[in-house]
């Protein structure tokens, strides 16, 4: 008889990213599901890794992160978001954004607290809340602009916030929909949380992948919100290094203190040579991330252009390296079943959206990753256009 235990996460299975990448590998499909680039990091960065590996930077880093990296993050944050950050008390380097999100939730959420997420919500949020003894409240984004744009329903958010709300988790630029926040949205959020005791966790891993000359409106650019916010980001998307798992958390001292209490017993410290290398590269090559929007916008336009004669409906993504395609004219099937079927039979793997939702409101939409070389995108588009 199979052995089981009373699970702490009874509703959780294997993450959709692992399921779809595994299926793509098993079937030989083109993998546009899990979000990772098919190209290497810049050589200027990998050269610095080699340098530090060979120069003795191989023992524990400081718990809060290598000072040079914290200084480089602070410099970038001040230049781009106009906030001066104290590197001693306000930045902690962590193991990818995933650890930053998890450690934040464990640090703040107590048994019985409520945490608000916006659906479709990245899949690591709710399990972290459940493990902390909290309850996740799902607020669906609304679909506007004839089915193309996703946005926060501010009335619904205001109605959902209550005295038990401990944390609101935001993720803009938004995975999977590409939705972004503008300045007026931050003001609206500030009005809603003004007289409450709730904190904000802002997952900004796509901070440097935003298109059509839109600025990234980080929560830490807003004086009032900053007082109650932890911003979590990652170099995985920014430097084509999803396998390195180097992220960071920026928060005022009283929140960073609590964050570090968990971080020190979760991972303690993060890969030393990688931190030094990223610090060097941030200082020497800021143009790399400054040119990232143009780089990915060209990929987005290339992929969307290849699909212009297909039966998918689309609006080019506003941010991230994911393109949503609406398959309503091709099939009425459920998105999870169709994503699996098309991986097996068409040979292109994608990510369904309904798995990120408490109530499956996203309909006939699938997410495709365009962080791929042109030949891969061409091969995938040819198959998708044949439908």
Chain residues in the site for ligand GLN (CB under 6 A): 15, 17, 34-35, 175
The item of ligand PMP, ligand GLN, none sharing an interface with residue 96, based on CB under 5 to 8 Å by kind, is ligand PMP
CB 154 to ligand GLN: min, Å? 26
Q: Which does 34 bind (CB under 5 to 8 A by kind): ligand PMP, ligand GLN, none?
A: ligand GLN
Please choose which of ligand GLN, ligand PMP, none residue 97 contacts, taking the beta carbon within 5 to 8 angstroms, the exact cut-off set by kind: ligand PMP
- One-letter-per-residue 3-state SS of the chain: CCCCCCCCCCCCCCCHHHHHHHHHHHHCCEECCCCCCCCCCCHHHHHHHHHHHCCCCCCCCCCCCCHHHHHHHHHHHHHHHCCCCCCCCCEEEEEHHHHHHHHHHHHHCCCCCEEEEEECCCCCHHHHHHHCCCEEEEEECEEECCCCEEECCHHHHHHHCCCCEEEEEECCCCCCCCCCCCHHHHHHHHHHHCCCCCEEEEECCCCCCECCCCCCCCHHHCHHHHCCEEEEEECCCCCCCCCCCEEEEECCHHHHHHHHHHHHHHCCCCCHHHHHHHHHHHHHCHHHHHCHHHHHHHHHHHHHHHCCCCCCECCCCCECCEEEEECCCCCCCCHHHHHHHHHHHHCEECEECHHHCCCCCCCCEEEEECCCCHHHHHHHHHHHHCC
Q: Residue 104 Cβ, how far from ligand GLN at the closest point, in Å?
A: 17
* Interacting span for ligand PMP (CB under 6 A) from 92-100, 129-137, 141-149, 333-341: 92-100
**What is the closest distance, in whole angstroms, from the C-beta atom of residue 34 to ligand GLN in the complex?**
5
The interface partner of residue 27, options being ligand PMP, ligand GLN, none and the CB cut-off 5 to 8 Å by kind, is none
Q: Does 105 bind ligand PMP (CB under 6 A)?
A: no
If one asks whether residue 236 binds ligand PMP (CB under 6 A), the answer comes out as yes
Size of the site for ligand PMP (CB under 6 A): 14
Q: Which does 17 bind (CB under 5 to 8 A by kind): ligand GLN, ligand PMP, none?
A: ligand GLN
- x/- binding map, residues 345-374, to ligand PMP, per CB under 6 A? ------------------------------
Among 45-53, 74-82, 234-242, 268-276, the segment contacting ligand PMP (CB under 6 A): 234-242
Entry field: residues in the chain: 387
Give the x/- contact pattern for ligand PMP in 240-279, rule: CB under 6 A: --x--x-x--------------------------------
Q: Which of 102, 118, 122, 321 binds ligand PMP (CB under 6 A)?
A: 122
Return residues touching ligand PMP (CB under 6 A): 35, 96-98, 122, 171, 175, 203, 205, 234, 236, 242, 245, 247
């Amino acid at each position: 008889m199979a052995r089981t235990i009373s699970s702490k996460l009874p509703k959780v299975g294997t993450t959709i990213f692992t399921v779809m990448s595994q299926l793509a590998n098993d079937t030989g499909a083109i993998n546009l599901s899990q979000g990772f680039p098919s190209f290497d990091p810049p050589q200027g960065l990998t050269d610095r890794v080699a340098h530090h590996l060979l120069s003795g930077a191989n023992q524990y880093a400081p718990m809060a992160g290598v000072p040079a990296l914290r200084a480089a993050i602070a410099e970038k944050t001040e230049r781009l978001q106009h906030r001066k950050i104290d590197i001693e008390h306000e930045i902690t380097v962590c193991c990818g954004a995933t650890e930053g999100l998890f450690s934040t939730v464990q640090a703040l959420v107590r048994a019985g607290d409520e945490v608000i997420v916006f659906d479709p919500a990245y899949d690591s949020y709710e399990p972290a809340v459940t493990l902390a003894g909290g309850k996740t409240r799902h607020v669906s984004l609304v679909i506007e602009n004839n089915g193309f744009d996703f946005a926060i329903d501010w009335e619904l958010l205001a109605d959902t916030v209550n005295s038990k709300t401990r944390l609101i988790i935001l993720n803009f630029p938004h995975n999977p929909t590409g939705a972004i926040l503008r300045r007026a949205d931050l003001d609206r959020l500030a009005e809603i949380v003004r007289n409450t005791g709730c904190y904000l966790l802002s997952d900004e891993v796509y901070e440097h992948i935003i298109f059509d000359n839109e600025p990234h409106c980080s929560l830490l650019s807003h004086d009032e919100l900053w007082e109650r916010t932890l911003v979590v980001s990652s170099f995985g998307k920014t430097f084509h290094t999803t396998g390195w798992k180097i992220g960071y958390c920026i928060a005022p001292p009283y929140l960073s203190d609590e964050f570090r209490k968990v971080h020190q017993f979760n991972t303690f410290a993060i890969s030393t040579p990688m931190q030094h290398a990223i610090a060097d590269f941030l200082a020497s090559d800021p143009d790399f991330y400054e040119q990232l929007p143009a780089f990915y916008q060209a990929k987005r336009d290339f992929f969307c252009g290849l699909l212009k004669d297909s039966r998918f409906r689309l609006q080019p993504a506003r941010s991230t390296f994911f393109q949503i395609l609406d398959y309503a004219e091709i099939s009425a099937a459920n998105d999870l079943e169709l994503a699996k079927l098309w991986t097996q039979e068409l040979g292109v793997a994608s990510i369904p959206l309904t798995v990120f939702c408490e109530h499956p409101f996203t309909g006939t939409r699938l997410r495709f990753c365009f962080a791929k070389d042109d030949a891969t995108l061409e091969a995938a588009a040819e198959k998708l256009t044949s439908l």
